[in-house]
Amino acid sequence: MQRIGVFVCWCGSNIAGTVDVKAVAEALRSEPGVVFSTDYQYMCSQAGQEIIKEAIKEHKLTGVVVCSCSPRMHEATFRKTAQAAGLNPYMVEIANIREQCSWIHKDMETGTQKAIILGRAAVAKVNLNAPLIPGQTPVTKRALVIGGGIAGIQTALDIAEAGFPVDIVEKKPTIGGKMAQIDKTFPTLDCAACILTPKMVDVAQNENIRIFSYSEVQEVKGFVGNFNVKIKKKARFVKEDVCTGCGICTEKCPQKKVPNEFNLGMDNRRAVYIPFAQAVPKVATIDADYCTMLKTGKCGLCAKVCTAGAIDYTQKDEIIEEQYGAIVAATGFNPISLDKFDEYAYNQSKDVITSLEFERLTNAAGPTAGKLLRPSDGKHPHTIVFVQCVGSRCAACADKGKEYCSKICCMYTAKHAMLTRDKYPDTDVYVFYIDVRTPGKNFDEFYRRAVEEYGVHYIKGMVGKVSPQGDKLMVQASDLLANKQLHIEADLVVLAAAIEPDKSARSIATMLTASMDTNDFFTEAHPKLRPVESPTAGVFLSGTCQGPKDIPETVSQASAAAAKVIGLLAKDKLTSNPCVAHADELMCNGCSSCANVCPYGAISYIDKEFRMPNRTTAIRRVASVNPAVCQGCGACTVACPSGAMDLNGFESAQIIAEVDAICR
């Protein structure tokens, strides 16, 4: 028989306001096994913990029930308290009478009754608790960063700087991400490439960093400290270690009509290409969808001109297997498709462009060598209309847009408007907005400069229609402050398209068993207090895969994620959770039901010799759980048809006892 102590917490007025804590302590005193019961204002405080320790010693307690807040909050605290008093920490149970009781009830009587029932269930469970000893698992001291944009780059550099090896997996042929496509950065207007490319070079030169470019994560197995990852290195038909990046093949390739994705399809590249001059790694890639040699077997020009002999048409996809202690998701974002926003005529006119296309049009390395020219006729536009919130903050159009604010558009539009007026003072620039949102260091000052010094026409209101007429774009919009309708004859319309997580994020989240929100942004472990960790242990979040962010914020978060990874990799061993499944081999018939439902691949089968009647033996196939891989989810215990599977700390008998106590 256990000797159980019950400790009811007031949590100030959080619990005591709707639950009669004294009545709860009193009622639970007479439960089976309970030898001590008390209440206190703040059980988690130093003084409260002392009460528990004293009681354990004085009453020789073998089990403890704390009626308090959610176990997610203070289970660890009270387990440590019990341990300090010499009790096995797994002999402590929490009855959640705050989140699941006092906070959701208004009536004192109902609240008190429910608290008693919850406490009773916890007591019933502790009666069946057994001491558990956690195991230890080693930590693989290597990190994986998925995504090589500025977020992935910063995280990798910081981890490498602390002395741990890092691998970056990037699906494109080069790292750099969206920032490499951007012209200038707000609010300082320094050139994006000038501050990004040195970092890319640092990555390439850092001994602790390996870059797997043109590669994708294919499979993730294992758990915190011991992830086993398969990476698919896609065939680029160029030997990476031989290619010198001279670029001759990209000049000689006869297939000239491939839309250049780096310039968003506004010009063409060859079938063999290097995305941009400062690409890292600076090696060529052959686009198998367009290469004549790979499609028909006739051509081979690039191989002929390559003095290094790097071209290899027979290259195959390669699978690399590697162990990691921690994984960082840095999968980034994309602007949404504007196919469903035809009121802005994006698909009808070449002169209606997105803001990212505008970045390329003003970039010296872009399709117009930095001259702002209309895509349709190459003429200089004299009237430019910027439309903000295209698909953002669009609760009414959730079927095609996003409900959230994309956060970065107000600032980059102010930047575009200002730079246009600075470089081309003969241009009239209009910006249509719902609200101008510029919180951030030196952000509002920047926007005010666009309005006051550069004479950009900021108009509160939305554009209703863009209608191409001849070589003009007729823009119909409302001015909400003047309360009138505007008709503007524009030469160029720039749409600030909402941003959304990269499409690959969902499959990566599935592989990592990391959770996502309804918009496919990764969910953080706690929105305020654990913003760079995923709820899945060992998985960390960097950059816009967690939510819309500008570059300064992305870099801060990337470094924060790196700090968390370093903290993990610095440990030699991790304490593992002893609440794992185990099979009763005598009851198991080896049917595989449990292995089929196990999301972690923790269950395998072994052939075991059993003693049978009349001194005979028999070999039977039975389930065997790898306690290091098992996460204690309990799926197998439900699936097992013979009841052989059970979960330490949550045994079927304990759950039934809880239910019985509730129904009593």
Partner 1 sequence: MKVAYFPGCTLKTKAKELDRYARKCAEILDVSLEEVEDWQCCGGVFTTSRDEVATKLSSVRALSAAKKNNNVLVTVCSACHNVIKQTNYAMQNDAEFAQRVNNYLGKGEEYDGTTEILHYLELLRDKVGYDNVAKKVINSLAGKKVAAYYGCLLLRPNSVMHTDDPENPTIMEDLIRALGAEPVIYSERNECCGGYITLENPEFSALRSHKVTESAYNSGADLIVTACPLCKYNLEKNGSPIPVVYFTELMAEAFGVKEDANA
Give the whole-angstrom CA distance, residue 521 versus residue 523: 6
Q: Least distance (Å) from partner 1 to the CB of residue 342?
A: 4
Q: How far is CA 540 from CA 96, 143, 596, 649, in A?
A: 29, 10, 28, 28
Binding of residue 468 to partner 1 (CB under 8 A): yes
Give the whole-angstrom CA distance, residue 363 versus residue 416: 12
Q: Which is nearer to partner 1, 493 or 545 (CB)?
A: 493
Query: Strands 603-612, 616-625: parallel, antiparallel or unpaired by DSSP?
Result: antiparallel
Residue 379: CB atoms within 10 A of its CB come to: 12
Q: Least distance (Å) from partner 1 to the CB of residue 376?
A: 15
Q: Which is nearer to partner 1, 157 or 492 (CB)?
A: 492
Q: Least distance (Å) from partner 1 to the CB of residue 412?
A: 25
Task: Compose the 415-454 pattern: x for residues touching partner 1 by CB under 8 A, - for all others.
Answer: ----------------------------------------
Give the whole-angstrom CA distance, residue 84 versus residue 54: 11
Q: Which is nearer to partner 1, 470 or 527 (CB)?
A: 470
Q: Least distance (Å) from partner 1 to the CB of residue 222?
A: 45
Stretch that binds partner 1, among 21-29, 209-217, 442-450, 468-476 (CB under 8 A): 468-476
223 near 537, Cβ under 8 Å?
Answer: yes
Give the whole-angstrom CA distance, residue 96 versus residue 110: 15
Binding of residue 465 to partner 1 (CB under 8 A): yes
Give the whole-angstrom CA distance, residue 493 versus residue 485: 18
Maximal C-alpha separation, the chain: 103
Tokens representing 641? 């048809």
Q: Least distance (Å) from partner 1 to the CB of residue 492?
A: 16
Tokens representing 38? 């008390």
Among 30, 46, 314, 469, interactor with partner 1 by CB under 8 A: 469
Q: Which is nearer to partner 1, 345 or 635 (CB)?
A: 345
Give the whole-angstrom CA distance, residue 590 versus residue 281: 50
Task: Compose the 345-374 pattern: x for residues touching partner 1 by CB under 8 A, - for all others.
Answer: x--x--------------------------
Site for partner 1 in 262-301 (CB under 8 A): none
Q: Least distance (Å) from partner 1 to the CB of residue 468?
A: 6
Q: How far is CA 574 from the centre of its chain?
A: 23
Q: Least distance (Å) from partner 1 to the CB of residue 349?
A: 8
Q: Which is nearer to partner 1, 339 or 607 (CB)?
A: 339
Q: Least distance (Å) from partner 1 to the CB of residue 348?
A: 6
Q: Rg for the chain (alpha carbons), in Å?
A: 31
Stretch that binds partner 1, among 30-38, 442-450, 463-471, 558-566 (CB under 8 A): 463-471
Stretch that binds partner 1, among 85-93, 342-350, 425-433, 652-660 (CB under 8 A): 342-350
Strands (E) located in 170-233:
184-185, 190-191, 209-212, 215-223, 226-233
Q: Least distance (Å) from partner 1 to the CB of residue 482?
A: 21
Q: Which is nearer to partner 1, 55 or 387 (CB)?
A: 387
Give the whole-angstrom CA distance, residue 164 versus residue 565: 10
Site for partner 1 in 470-489 (CB under 8 A): 470
Give the whole-angstrom CA distance, residue 221 versus residue 629: 9
Give the whole-angstrom CA distance, residue 317 versus residue 295: 17
Task: Provide the edge-to-edge strand list for the sheet that holds 226-233.
Answer: 215-223, 226-233, 318-324
Stretch that binds partner 1, among 311-319, 423-431, 460-468, 499-507 (CB under 8 A): 460-468
Q: Least distance (Å) from partner 1 to the CB of residue 345?
A: 5
Total residues binding partner 1 (CB under 8 A): 13
Q: Least distance (Å) from partner 1 to the CB of residue 467?
A: 4
Stretch that binds partner 1, among 15-23, 343-351, 447-455, 606-614 (CB under 8 A): 343-351
Stretch that binds partner 1, among 82-90, 123-131, 305-313, 466-474 (CB under 8 A): 466-474
**Cα angle 11-13-15, degrees, rounded to a multiple of 5:** 60
Q: Least distance (Å) from partner 1 to the CB of residue 352?
A: 10
Q: Least distance (Å) from partner 1 to the CB of residue 497?
A: 15
Tokens representing 109? 């009587």
Among 90, 227, 341, 521, interactor with partner 1 by CB under 8 A: 341
Q: Least distance (Å) from partner 1 to the CB of residue 396?
A: 9
79 near 52, Cβ under 8 Å?
Answer: no
Among 409, 466, 568, 580, interactor with partner 1 by CB under 8 A: 466
> Using a CB cutoff of 8 Å and minimum separation of 24, what contacts does 378-383 make?
379/491, 380/424, 381/351, 381/427, 381/490, 381/491, 381/492, 382/426, 382/427, 382/428, 382/491, 383/427, 383/428, 383/430, 383/488, 383/489, 383/490, 383/491, 383/492
Binding of residue 342 to partner 1 (CB under 8 A): yes
Task: Compose the 310-339 pattern: x for residues touching partner 1 by CB under 8 A, - for all others.
Answer: -----------------------------x
Binding of residue 343 to partner 1 (CB under 8 A): yes
Binding of residue 616 to partner 1 (CB under 8 A): no
Binding of residue 340 to partner 1 (CB under 8 A): yes
Strands (E) located in 369-471:
383-390, 428-433, 457-460, 463-469
Site for partner 1 in 98-137 (CB under 8 A): none
Give the whole-angstrom CA distance, residue 304 versus residue 288: 18
Give the whole-angstrom CA distance, residue 207 versus residue 357: 36
646: Cβ contacts below 8 Å, ≥ 6 apart: 581, 582, 584, 637, 652
Q: Which is nearer to partner 1, 235 or 495 (CB)?
A: 495
Stretch that binds partner 1, among 280-288, 307-315, 403-411, 459-467 (CB under 8 A): 459-467
Residues that bind partner 1 (CB under 8 A): 339-343, 345, 348, 465-470
